């Protein structure tokens, strides 16, 4: 069973039909929308500031979501996929975004809607990722606009994770 822990007077809040893997961890000031999936070894730690997650967002295996004390909360939109071992810290991720495997998004960055952060990219503090773009590298830089195929990948990934979660409920 997932670890869900109240802390400093805050208890995590979950929308309808969310899935938390057996060893997922959700602590403190966390508010999650409907149909979210939190996978194995993922940690969402709202101990030092608020974390808000929209609907139909997936936090994949080993990903970490955290904030900075009294400085930077984390806001994640709907239809967002945070891939395996990514770190999302004290930033804003708008709707319909894919954060690639092992990517790091740092404090006060804003990831615009319908964007992709490539696997292994490091988005530095305060970076503004333009909507509809792909950023890659260390530090992450804009490499191109996303096309219709990539838009479909973003939405298909977000759609598939609730389906995968159903397999674990059987």
Strand partners, 45: 27
* E strand map for 60-164: 64-66, 74-76, 81-82, 87-89, 92-93, 98-99, 104-105, 110-111, 116-117, 122-123, 128-129, 133-136, 141-145
CA distances from 68 to 46, 83, 164 (A): 10, 21, 32
Confidence tier at 34 by pLDDT (50, 70, 90): very high
Residue 169 has pLDDT above 90, yes or no: no
pLDDT band at 145 (very low <50, low <70, confident <90, very high): very high
Q: Which residue has the tokens 């101990």?
A: 47
78 DSSP 8-state letter: S
Tokens of 92: 């804003």
How confident is the model over 148-159, as pLDDT tens digits? 999 999 999 999
Structural Rg of the chain based on CA atoms: 15
pLDDT of 115 above 90: yes
* pLDDT (0 to 100) of residue 134: 98
pLDDT in tens, 7-32: 999 999 999 999 999 999 999 999 99
Report pLDDT digits (tens) over 59-79. 999 999 999 999 999 999 999
**Percentage of the chain modeled with pLDDT above 90:** 99
Average pLDDT for residues 117-139, to the nearest whole number? 98
Complete domains list, the chain, with CATH: 3-169 (2.160.10.10)
What percent of the chain shows pLDDT beyond 70?
A: 100
What's the rounded Cα separation, in Å, for the pair 153 and 138?
Answer: 23
């Amino acid at each position: 069973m997932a670890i869900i822990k109240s802390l400093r007077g805050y208890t995590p809040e979950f929308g309808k039909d969310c899935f938390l893997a057996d060893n997922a961890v959700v602590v403190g000031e966390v508010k999650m929308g409907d149909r979210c999936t939190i996978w194995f070894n993922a940690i969402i730690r709202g101990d030092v500031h608020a974390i808000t997650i929209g609907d139909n967002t997936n936090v994949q295996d080993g990903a970490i979501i955290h904030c900075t004390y009294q400085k930077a909360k984390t806001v994640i939109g709907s239809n967002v996929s945070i891939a395996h071992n990514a770190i999302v810290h004290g930033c804003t991720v708008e709707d319909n975004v894919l954060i690639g495997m092992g990517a790091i998004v740092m404090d006060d960055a804003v990831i615009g809607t319908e964007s992709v952060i490539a696997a292994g990219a490091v988005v530095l503090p305060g970076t503004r990722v333009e909507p509809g773009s792909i950023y890659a590298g260390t530090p992450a830089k804009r490499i191109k606009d996303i096309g219709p195929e990539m838009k479909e990948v973003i939405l298909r990934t977000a759609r598939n994770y609730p389906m995968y979660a159903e397999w674990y409920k059987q």
